[in-house]
Amino acid sequence: MRLLFLGDIVGRTGRKAVVDALPGLRRRYALDFVIINGENSAGGFGITEAILEELIEAGADAITLGNHAFDQKEALVFIERYPQLVRPINYPQGTPGRGASLLKTGGGADVLVINAMGRIFMGELDDPFRAVDAELTACRLKQGADAIVIDMHAEATSEKQALAYFVDGRASAVVGTHTHVPTADERVLPNGTAYISDAGMCGDYNSVLGMDIEEPINRFITKIPRQRFEPAGGPATISGLAIDIDDKTGLANACAALRVGPNLEPATPTFWEA
């Protein structure tokens, strides 16, 4: 199975870059499944139903969220209608939506997508380790699902790494999101789970985490908000992780960074090149 995970989409410029590039990426790499983190896609804060449908139409099979999941209040309603939209599994019981979703590839394989959120420097949620463990126990790799991918939306790299080793051999991949900066530690862990601490973002990297530069600098210097954060509007770079998954075991054969656009060094998954 050929799977692509794209990091947090930030604002309009990130959305446009993904929507324009994704159909071509699916064709070029013969992708079976695409997951995108969309929690910053609506002006940097949350996601709307129109944006969700735009991403699905462009070729996204699943869209994960995070701490901005419900910044757009309409998401509290429409999230129930879309199995492709997955919010953190460790939100309190009764939160609208789902924290895990079993979805099919075009070829009929079952992919379990789990979204979890860290607790270090983040909001007070339930334990992500126990929540993920319960889901993996209920839907085991190659028994309930052909592939299992976990979006670990967290601030601390230690928490992301700990969760990845906690599930190593039980999930196809653990992909870190939230910090918007792509890390260089992509690898397959000893028991076969692909991992990266952060997939990066799909947005304008001539920015502060995808936002116009001036207001973040102002807040660091003065500690007084002058205006709301606005997504940077320059040319965007697509950043993510390509994962080759063994159809027999559901574990990763290889993984590699994918980066397309300005301001960062380009990267492509050579193991899929003819």
Report the 10 Å Cβ neighbour count for 205.
23
Pairwise CA distance, residues 239 & 34, whole Å: 13
Pairwise CA distance, residues 10 & 52, whole Å: 13
C-alpha closest to that of 136 among 153, 152, 114, 151: 114
The CA-to-CA distance between both ends of the chain, in Å, stands at 16
20-38 b/e (C-beta count within 10 Å ≥ 16 → b): ebbeebbeebebbbbbbbb
**3 state SS of 176:** strand
185, 199 Cβ separation under 8 angstroms: no
Pairwise CA distance, residues 67 & 120, whole Å: 12
Helices (H), 59-185: 75-78, 128-138, 157-167
Pairwise CA distance, residues 205 & 226, whole Å: 22
Residue 111 pairs with which residues in a beta bridge?
103, 147
Residue 245 pairs with which residues in a beta bridge?
252
Q: Return the structure tokens found at 234.
A: 């320059």
Q: Is 153 an active-site residue?
A: no
Active site residues: 68
